[in-house]
């Protein structure tokens, strides 16, 4: 390949129709509430870790639904499983349990 | 020939309008109200969206023309007997009324804001409700409102919230918030006003114009994020946490005044009557009509009619239209 001295930047468009959602489907089986989020942001606003880190449960969940988890999934490592997000969620999602299931299916924890 | 009685339970705008229409159709309506005045929640409101018509003017129109309606305030329903001939309604003042058709217009109650403790109503000094603010617009007196410089409106308080045991949208509070945000900006032009919303539901004709005016004329700042909690500092300032979900950033801000947009729940007498009359209710506690599309004003039982917010959140014009529809249904039923 000839080196022209520049690279093409990656397309930023969301490839929603080629989405590989096999893992999200597996998550949905474990967590029927995984689709219930309305992106209200309460979890992120109240998150104990969110003040110091980038952690946003809302963004993680949305990125999983869109098959774009790569950039977000590592955020979960700062989660302290304090459960505050669960107290505030207006859709009554058991977020703590959901986080554990995400970790299991997306292998974010060493087993 | 003596005119036939028709009992209407609930003397808010809906019951009044049912009664007035039944009177025009040749009946003697008997309107029963629990409170000491007719008018329901309309008495507590200052102006109505979208044009800002005065609530008192509407109420005056409605109550100014009750000739031929027998109305009673301060009455509670003790019991109701159903027979083949219709209903016998017994009230606590010792009276009892016979009616072939019974109309229920028991309305709604506002979500008790103190039940949502994380928002601090009745705990923090400067947290008020939409109803408190209407009262203030009318009286201009409220010790909690002292020339606020920053004001926040919290949408969906007690609505769309599993934790508050109400999954449903109350429909009218988005429009009310936009209206009130503009009105308070009119009173305090220097204040910065925020609306914290999850979805803006401005569904009616020209409501979008109201939204545009709030943005363009009043500079109301709409933030797409639900307030998750509120705390108070030593000077009585409020700290509000939310996420600006469009920017994707959590935010914490200081406010001088917080207005909670409390939602619509079935009124207490709606519950009481559903037990007395075995009227079917949904999971949300509102009455379920015979057919939500074709027969929204009729109960399953023949002779029993319902209208207004006892079957779910509605605007005032919607309520009044339904009241007129119910009156015609009653007339059709009694003419058979
Ligand atoms: S459980 Fe994790 S995501 Fe939820 S509030 Fe606590 S730290 Fe944040
Ligand atoms: S609080 Fe619940 S509904 Fe709101 S963004 Fe978080 S998970 Fe979704
Ligand atoms: S009308 Fe708006 S504020 Fe009221 S419950 Fe619905 S979305 Fe929430």
Q: Which range has the worst mean pLDDT, A64-78, B197-211, B251-265?
A: A64-78
* Chain A closest-CA separation from residue B229 CA (Å): 7
Are residues B239 and B130 part of one domain? yes
Dist CA B59 CA B25 (whole Å): 22
Ligand 2: distance of its center to the CA of A99 in Å?
A: 12
Mutate to test the interface with B, among A42, A94, A95 (most CBs of B within 10 A): A42
pLDDT at residue A11, as a whole number: 75
pLDDT digits (tens, 9 = 90+) for B26-38: 999 999 999 999 9
pLDDT digits (tens, 9 = 90+) for B50-64: 999 999 999 999 999
Are residues B174 and B316 part of one domain? no
Are residues B210 and B289 part of one domain? no
Write out the residue range of the structural domain in which residue B178 sits.
110-264
Q: What is the pTM of this model?
A: 0.94
- Interval B189-193 mean pLDDT: 98
Are residues B297 and B196 part of one domain? no
Ligand 3: distance of its center to the CA of B198 in Å?
A: 8
Are residues B9 and B79 part of one domain? yes
Are residues B38 and B148 part of one domain? no
**Chain A residues within 8 A of B161 when measuring between CB atoms:** 90
pLDDT at residue A51, as a whole number: 81
Among the candidates B232, B264, B296, a domain finishes at: B264
- Whose tokens are 């920053």? That residue is B150
HSE-up of residue A80 (Cα within 13 Å, Cβ side): 10
A-facing residues of B in 1-60 (CB < 8 A) are: none
ipTM (interface pTM): 0.90
CATH number at residue B94: 3.50.50.60
Are residues B152 and B250 part of one domain? yes
Confidence of residue B88 (pLDDT cuts 50, 70, 90): very high
Are residues B152 and B89 part of one domain? no
Among the candidates B264, B288, B320, a domain finishes at: B264
Cβ-defined contact of A45 to B198 (cutoff 8 Å): no
Query: What is the tally of structural domains in chain B?
Result: 2
Among the candidates B212, B232, B264, a domain finishes at: B264
């Amino acid at each position: 390949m000839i080196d022209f001295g520049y690279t093409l930047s990656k397309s930023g468009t969301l490839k929603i129709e080629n989405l590989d959602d096999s893992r999200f489907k597996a998550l949905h089986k474990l967590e029927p509430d995984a689709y219930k989020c309305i992106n209200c942001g309460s979890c992120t606003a109240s998150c104990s870790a969110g003040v110091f880190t980038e952690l946003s449960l809302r963004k993680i969940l949305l990125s999983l639904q869109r098959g774009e988890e790569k950039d977000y999934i590592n955020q979960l490592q700062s989660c302290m499983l304090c459960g505050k997000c669960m107290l505030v969620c207006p859709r009554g999602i058991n977020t703590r349990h959901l986080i554990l299931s995400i970790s299991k299916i997306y292998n974010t924890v060493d087993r | 020939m003596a005119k036939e009685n028709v009992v209407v339970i609930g003397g808010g705008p809906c019951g009044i309008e049912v009664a007035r229409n039944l009177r025009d159709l040749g009946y003697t309506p008997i309107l029963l109200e629990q409170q000491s005045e007719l008018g329901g929640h309309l008495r507590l409101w200052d102006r109505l969206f979208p044009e800002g018509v005065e609530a008192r003017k509407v109420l005056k129109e409605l109550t100014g023309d009750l000739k031929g309606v027998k109305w009673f305030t301060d009455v509670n329903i003790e019991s109701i007997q159903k027979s083949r001939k219709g209903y016998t309604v017994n009230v606590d003042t010792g009276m009892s009324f016979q009616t072939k058709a019974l109309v229920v217009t028991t309305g709604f109650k506002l979500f008790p804001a103190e039940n949502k403790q994380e928002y601090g109503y009745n705990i923090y000094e400067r947290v008020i409700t939409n109803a408190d603010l209407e009262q203030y617009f009318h009286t201009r007196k409220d010790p909690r409102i002292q020339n606020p410089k920053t004001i926040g409106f919290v949408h969906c308080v007690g609505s769309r919230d599993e934790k508050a045991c109400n999954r449903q949208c109350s429909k009218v509070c988005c429009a009310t918030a936009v209206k009130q945000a503009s009105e308070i900006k009119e009173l305090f032009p220097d204040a910065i006003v925020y609306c914290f919303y999850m979805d803006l539901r401005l569904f009616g004709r020209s409501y979008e114009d109201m939204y545009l005016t709030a943005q363009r004329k009043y500079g109301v700042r709409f933030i797409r994020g639900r307030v998750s909690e509120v705390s108070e500092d030593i000077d009585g300032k409020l700290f509000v946490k939310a996420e600006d979900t469009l920017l994707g950033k959590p935010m914490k801000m200081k406010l001088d005044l917080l207005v909670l947009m409390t939602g619509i729940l079935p009124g207490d007498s709606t519950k009481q009557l559903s037990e007395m009359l075995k009227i079917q209710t949904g999971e949300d506690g509102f009455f379920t009509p015979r057919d939500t599309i074709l027969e929204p004003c009729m109960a399953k039982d023949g002779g029993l009619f319902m209208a207004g917010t006892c079957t779910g959140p509605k605007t005032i014009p919607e309520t009044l239209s339904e009241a007129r529809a119910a009156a015609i249904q009653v007339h059709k039923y009694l003419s058979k």
